[in-house]
A = this chain, B = another copy of it.
Amino acid sequence: MTSKRPKRDGGDFPRADLDARTLAFIDGIASRVHETIARGELPTIDILVRSLSNVSYDPDKGYLELGEIHKSRTLTVNTIRSFAQTLRLLATSGDMVRNNDFATKREAYYVSKNWGDCRFDDQPESDAIMDDIEALASLQGLSREQLRFYADSHGGSVAGELVVIDPHPETGAEIEIDCRNLGTGAYSIPRSVEHLGFRTNAEFVLAIETGGMFQRLNNHRFWKKANCILVEMAGVPTRATRRFLRRLTDERNLPVYCFVDCDPYGFANIYRTLKAGSGNAAHINQFLCVPRARFLGVAPRDIKDYGLEDATHPLNKTDIKRAQDAIRNDPFFAAYPEWIAAIEQLVAMGVRAEQQALAKWGLNFVMDDYLPRKLADKSSFLP
């Protein structure tokens, strides 16, 4: 059974009442189930259809979005186990909100080991139920982190013109972390960032693909010279890093300039995921996409403009397939002729260039020449 729901709004939600809304979401489902049973009827939970057939892209919204198609999970002999697991997981979430605690997805799986017959047999089973709940919560503007289920993956690192404000978990007093004052080290983003506040006079955020480049710009205090915040993505940014960038740029109205390798992976996997989200987790893109992101480089034209021809590598089959997919099948790139042209230019050149290839002209060419020239002409950034 499928039907339509009213359109929901984007991911703009104040922090203060989030816990109350999360509990209301959980209690709402539980109450409906309880009332139905009390009437002697079979209870039902609405679940969103999460397949790609229910995903669309609207350039004005700026992210790959889950559609409104949903199905009902009614209690039957066949669904009794997953029905019970859904309610148990919701109850666990409610307990964590009330206790100001959290569970990684792995821990949530292990917690079930005390649930008797409805315990999860393996984590893919618990992840699937969690995804159902997450999609449902997204209708209320609530992310999985609000349900207190955190990813196990590491957040990125941050340095530069930013003070992060984090309430002390015991006293509630504000802890201020000054990212200008961490030496050659950096601030490691926690697994949930919903509770963080920000103070900054920076002009922009520079989101960097490789840890090596981040270390170079941090050690040389590039953030001071350029009045910016450095964020190390270390490849495709994790969920925590994406949400951190989203909240930071929303709250402080800052642009994010993305500095990654010039290859289809850098364009389609790193940049597009950061800016518009991913197709196979569309229900969370509203929280994680960073519409203010722009592509600083390395752009295909930079290979000629900066004489990097002999520091490139040939595109391999995977690169070419990824490029063709981006040109032909990706609704994000389809919305931007500049991107199609740039990717076609790279394919025609038949090479890729890493951001560290700029070291050909000296280790600090990137800081002394490349980035200042780029930043002086922001209209050249790809959208």
Contacts and interface: CB of A to CB of B under 8 A. Distances in A.
Interface string A360-374: 111110000000000
A310 B112 CA distance: 11
A166 B184 contact: yes
Interface string A109-136: 0110110000000000000000000000
Nearest to A183: B166
A211 interface: yes
A169 B221 CA distance: 8
A18 interface: no
Given A107-B212, A110-B360, A310-B113, A181 B177 contact: yes
A182 interface: yes
Nearest to A154: B211
A263 interface: no
Contacts of A250: none
Interface string A213-224: 001101111000
Contacts of A187: 182, 185-188
A19 to B, nearest CB: 16
Q: How many copies does the complex hold?
A: 2
Interface in A220-234: 220-221, 232, 234
A263 to B, nearest CB: 14
Given A103-B359, A175-B183, A184-B195, A212 B150 contact: yes
B152 A211 contact: yes
Contacts of A58: none
A170 B212 contact: no
Q: Please tell me the size bucket of the interface on A.
A: 35 or more
A185 B169 contact: no
A218 B187 CA distance: 14
A233 to B, nearest CB: 11
B311 A152 contact: no
Nearest to A101: B363
A81 to B, nearest CB: 17
A44 interface: no
Most buried by B among A191, A220, A232, A364: A191
Given A111-B359, A166-B184, A177-B183, 14 more contacts: A101-B364, A103-B363, A110-B311, A113-B357, A114-B360, A114-B361, A154-B157, A166-B183, A169-B220, A175-B181, A177-B181, A177-B182, A185-B190, A190-B219
